[in-house]
Chain A
Amino acid sequence: RKEVEQDPGPFNVPEGATVAFNCTYSNSASQSFFWYRQDCRKEPKLLMSVYSSGNEDGRFTAQLNRASQYISLLIRDSKLSDSATYLCVVNQAGTALIFGKGTTLSVSS
């Protein structure tokens, strides 16, 4: 089992749609969780951290289920500007972050 797994997509949705991305991780000792966004030919940028209680930032909601080792990202009211690749990121204690391969989202008008 890979350490961080994501559905690669692509997810093609119309503007205004709600879309959810899922991610699973294999290391039960993982401590920190993030969603990063990467635009084409650009560097990854932090979208949001993921907390055990779940957290929301505007149209974006992140959830963590430690028992199932599962992380999700929900995007409501999708915008054209949300088109990007979304990377699920998990820490591996003592070394560095482990990145999923990303889920590609394309929002169309």
Chain B
Amino acid sequence: IAGITQAPTSQILAAGRRMTLRCTQDMRHNAMYWYRQDLGLGLRLIHYSNTAGTTGKGEVPDGYSVSRANTDDFPLTLASAVPSQTSVYFCASSMEGSTDTQYFGPGTRLTVL
């Protein structure tokens, strides 16, 4: 692995189903982030983690949960998907916190029907 990876690449999901988007980085970055990107709205922060064991809410956290059990992994879970969660989801990481450069994964395209 080089950098930051996400899985799956894309997914079509029935409303009401539970879904976990995976994110893994091998850069030993302390901070990780989840964004969603929607046409006309730009990138919006869902949740973040400044270091393993801690998480925080971003601009649009409702309907999403995260965990940070170790440095490398930062999964995003939709407990009960709704159509408004149809979006492109990007995971990102940075060495430290908000003043540092962020590196993005390739994204997951999620469609909730």
The reply to whether B45 and A96 form a contact with Cβ atoms under 8 Å apart is yes
Known: A44-B43, A99-B43. A91 touches B98 (CB 8 A): yes
**Would you mind naming 23 contact pairs between A and B with Cβ atoms under 8 Å apart?**
A31-B99, A34-B101, A42-B106, A42-B107, A43-B104, A43-B105, A43-B106, A43-B107, A44-B43, A44-B104, A46-B101, A46-B103, A49-B101, A87-B43, A92-B98, A94-B98, A95-B45, A95-B56, A95-B58, A96-B33, A96-B45, A100-B42, A101-B41
Which residues, 79 to 113 on B, are CB-close (under 8 Å) to A? 90, 97-107
Which residues, 48 to 71 on A, are CB-close (under 8 Å) to B? 49
The reply to whether B42 and A101 form a contact with Cβ atoms under 8 Å apart is yes
Q: How many angstroms from the CA of A78 to the CA of B11 in the assembled complex?
A: 37
- Chain B: interface residue total (CB-CB under 8 A): 22
Q: Which residues of chain B have C-beta atoms less than 8 A from A43's C-beta?
A: 90, 104-107
Interface range on chain A: under 10, 10 to 19, 20 to 34, or 35 or more?
20 to 34
Which residues, 93 to 109 on A, are CB-close (under 8 Å) to B? 93-97, 99-102
Q: Which residues of chain A have C-beta atoms less than 8 A from B53's C-beta?
A: none
Q: Which residues of chain B have C-beta atoms less than 8 A from A102's C-beta?
A: 42
Give the residue name and chain of the A residue nearest to B47 (CB).
A96
Q: How many angstroms from the CA of A99 to the CA of B98 in the assembled complex?
A: 12
Q: How many angstroms from the CA of A46 to the CA of B102 in the assembled complex?
A: 8
| A residues lining the B interface (CB < 8 Å) | 31-32, 34, 42-46, 49, 87, 91-97, 99-102
Q: Which residues of chain A have C-beta atoms less than 8 A from B103's C-beta?
A: 46
The reply to whether B48 and A32 form a contact with Cβ atoms under 8 Å apart is no
Q: Which residues of chain A have C-beta atoms less than 8 A from B56's C-beta?
A: 95
Taking the closest CB of chain B, its distance from the CB of A108, in whole angstroms, is 23
Give the residue name and chain of the A residue nearest to B35 (CB).
A99
Taking the closest CB of chain A, its distance from the CB of B59, in whole angstroms, is 9
Q: Which residues of chain B have C-beta atoms less than 8 A from A46's C-beta?
A: 101-103
Most buried by B among A87, A92, A101: A101
